[in-house]
Structure 1
Amino acid sequence: MSKNRIITLLTDFGLSDVYVGVMKGAIAQINPQLKVIDITHQIPSQNIAAGRFCLMTAFAYFPPETVHIAVVDPGVGSNRRGIAVKCANCLLVGPDNGLFSGVLSRESAIAAVELTNPQYWRIPEPSSTFHGRDIFAAAGAHLANGVALEELGRAVRAASLVQLQIPNCAVTGTGAVGCVQYVDRYGNLITNIPNDCIIGNNWSVTITNSPDTICIPSGKTYSDSKPGDLIAIVGSDGWLEIAVNSGSAQSVLQLQVGDKVEIIYIDCV
């Protein structure tokens, strides 16, 4: 019996080619009644870290048992595994390359399988360059249609799933140390320092990836700084981020994913 779960799609395919459309066509061939929601298709090309962050940010806004198909897959056609994972509040389908490690830092994997059963692929001999269409879209649609996870392939240990390696956030005696985990389209530098690491209002952020240490004052909104000035705030998803009022913090600071960021509980002087 059809479950008619929601399916989401997150990819780095962009919107100028046919790739997203044909994935939706592959889903519709299995059940045209399934509801498909696009999270984004503008993940920077082959940027697994950005896909990890965006899926981690988005998944909690969908109903339980939503099937999230994510494809940022520079290793397509190689020996990297295609997987499906069942969590308490969602199902995940895509490459086993760390793309799901953000979600899995918040949701424990109940079960996981490698997608080895061609009965639930679009075709028995899938393209070596488009598993999003031939394996992931089909497997996700079958899951949404009520097929049991274990039917899709052989079981794998949740502990064996690939984890994307980015520096952890750590509390220090003077604040906290973390790193940039995502750069959004505005150039805001979103760190992996959560708001529960921030105590009170008397804090600033230091950047040491330049010849001089840069001290950035904190605020509650982007407009708490003058146009063109740096400011550190807690963003809508609870992470410390560094911004420039009416500008790009990434352009100013030239920081990349993984670069160090530190909170200190003193005023900038």
Structure 2
Amino acid sequence: MPIITLTTDFGLKDSHVGAMKGVIWSLAPHAQIADITHLVEPQNIQQAAQLIRRAAPYYPPATIHVVVVDPGVGTERRPIAGRLGEHFVVGPDNGVFTALVEYHEGRGDSTEFVHLTRSEYWLPRVSFVFHGRDIFAPVAAHLANGVPLDRLGEPIADIVRLRFAKPLPLPNGLRGEVTHIDHFGNIYTNILRSDIQDKRVREVHIGASVVRDFVKTFGERMPGTLVSLFGSSDHLLVCEVNGNAARRLGVQVGDGVEVFFE
């Protein structure tokens, strides 16, 4: 039974997500639909790229990942579909698949993309402002029904890619930036476990604060303590135990962070 995931910035108030699911089930009633999130910040392509990267690898082979964070809908931006290793993706060509493509390339997986040009695989009437319902949902359903990728459009050599900031070296440390703040107020950085390797973190400078508690998990410290740790996706995080670190520190996405080693 094929799985189709949905990641959007549509929120939970309106009918957009429900309409997409209706299209999918009308064309592929056997498909399972999994909601990764519909709470991406509006038009935040970079956030969507990071969230789909963190979730998609945990789905089984042949899963179809639909991402609709599409501020360029109805313009000349291309609708695309692709195969990344044993997974498929469908969405706008605006960089939203950058992090997931880089993940698969890092694993040595083959990748291919098509520009969705075969309108017989769309809904008969296409709105200028809702390609999620009228193009991406039906294309995902046709993939779930076994339609080959190359039948959906014309091959393209590459897709739009975002440029993610990389950590910069400091004397005995690294300088990075805040990339995401989650529901709990945990602060994600672009510094990975692999950037630090076997070095021991002495302190993390963020905002006007210095965090000196580096732990393996939240329960090692009392509620209210500021700590740094590696999250489940191996990013360096700054957190307040049982609290909201971003609110406490006044930190936003894009702010700088510095890590120093022992």
* Structures share fold, TM-score greater than 0.5: yes
- Give the whole-Å Cα distance in 1 for the aligned partners of 2:178 and 2:246: 10
1:68 aligns with 2:65: yes
RMSD across aligned positions (CA) = 1.7
Residue type matched to 1:255 in 2? V
Does the aligned pair in 1 maintain the 2:65–2:89 contact within 8 Å? yes
What are the Cα deviations for residues 88-141 of structure 1, in whole angstroms up to 9, with x where unaligned? 131110011111111011013521111111011112x41011100000001111
Q: How much has 1:240 moved relative to structure 2?
A: 0.5
- 2:131 match: 131
Residue type matched to 2:239 in 1? A
Question: Residues 170 and 91 (structure 1 numbering): CA distance in 2 closer, same or farther, change over 3 Å?
Answer: farther
| Corresponding residue to 2:181 among 180, 183, 206 | 183
Which aligned pairs between 1:94-105 and structure 2 lie closer than 5 A? 94-105=91-102
Question: Equivalent pairs: percent with the same residue?
Answer: 40
Residue type matched to 1:203 in 2? R
| Corresponding residue to 1:221 among 217, 236, 240 | 217
TM normalised by structure 2 equals 0.91
- 1:250 match: 246
| Corresponding residue to 1:8 among 5, 27, 39 | 5
- 1:28 match: 25
What are the Cα deviations for residues 19-74 of structure 1, in whole angstroms up to 9, with x where unaligned? 11110110111110111111111112222122111100001110112100011111
1:49 aligns with 2:49: no
Q: How much has 1:182 moved relative to structure 2?
A: 1.2
- Give the whole-Å Cα distance in 1 for the aligned partners of 2:202 and 2:251: 21
| Corresponding residue to 1:19 among 3, 16, 25 | 16
* Gap runs ≥5 in structure 2: none
- Give the whole-Å Cα distance in 2 for the aligned partners of 1:204 and 1:225: 16
Q: How much has 1:81 moved relative to structure 2?
A: 1.1
Residue type matched to 1:183 in 2? I
What are the Cα deviations for residues 190-218 of structure 1, in whole angstroms up to 9, with x where unaligned? 112111223344422122xx5x5x32121
The total of aligned residue pairs comes to 256
Which aligned pairs between 1:143-154 and structure 2 lie closer than 5 A? 143-154=143-154
- SS of 2:52's equivalent in the other structure is helix
Q: How much has 1:259 moved relative to structure 2?
A: 2.5
* Larger deviation, residues 90-99 vs 39-48: 39-48
Residue type matched to 1:252 in 2? R
Does the aligned pair in 2 maintain the 1:89–1:107 contact within 8 Å? no
- 2:204 match: 205
Does the aligned pair in 2 maintain the 1:175–1:197 contact within 8 Å? no
- Give the whole-Å Cα distance in 1 for the aligned partners of 2:78 and 2:45: 15
- Give the whole-Å Cα distance in 2 for the aligned partners of 1:259 and 1:154: 40
Does the aligned pair in 1 maintain the 2:95–2:160 contact within 8 Å? yes
What are the Cα deviations for residues 167-210 of structure 1, in whole angstroms up to 9, with x where unaligned? 11345551333222211011111112111223344422122xx5
Does the aligned pair in 1 maintain the 2:2–2:30 contact within 8 Å? no
Does the aligned pair in 2 maintain the 1:180–1:191 contact within 8 Å? yes
Question: Residues 89 and 192 (structure 1 numbering): CA distance in 2 closer, same or farther, change over 3 Å?
Answer: farther
Question: Residues 163 and 257 (structure 1 numbering): CA distance in 2 closer, same or farther, change over 3 Å?
Answer: farther
TM normalised by structure 1 equals 0.89
